[in-house]
Amino acid sequence: MSGVLLTGDGKLRKQASKDNIEVRGIIYLFDVLLNQNLISFQDAVEKIKQLILLNNRLPKKEIDKRVELWNDEKHVG
């Protein structure tokens, strides 16, 4: 069986990585939604900022990078 595991659970992520299973998380979902034009950059920035307030375990540095990128795209697009 092959596939991609979508999870935010740290222990599950570690085990899946050990088992050579590709793991994705919430930031990946935002990227997909944006790439498919299902949400705007403005909405993505707003929602991910709300999400980080609710879940302080999310990778802040990676989210900060995305917010900066999405803010730039918001002004270009």
**In the chain, where are the structural domains located?**
4-76
Are 23 and 16 within 8 A, CB to CB?
yes
Give me the pLDDT at residue 19, please: 92
Query: Both tokens of residue 50?
Result: 């709300």
List, for the chain, all residue ranges whose pLDDT scores fall below the cut of 50. none
Cα separation, 44 vs 40, in Å, equals: 6
34-56 pLDDT per residue, tens: 999 999 999 999 999 999 999 98
Nearest to 30 by CA among 73, 12, 75: 73
In this structure, what token pair is assigned to residue 71?
């803010």
Q: Where are the beta strands (DSSP E) in 1-77?
A: 4-6, 22-24
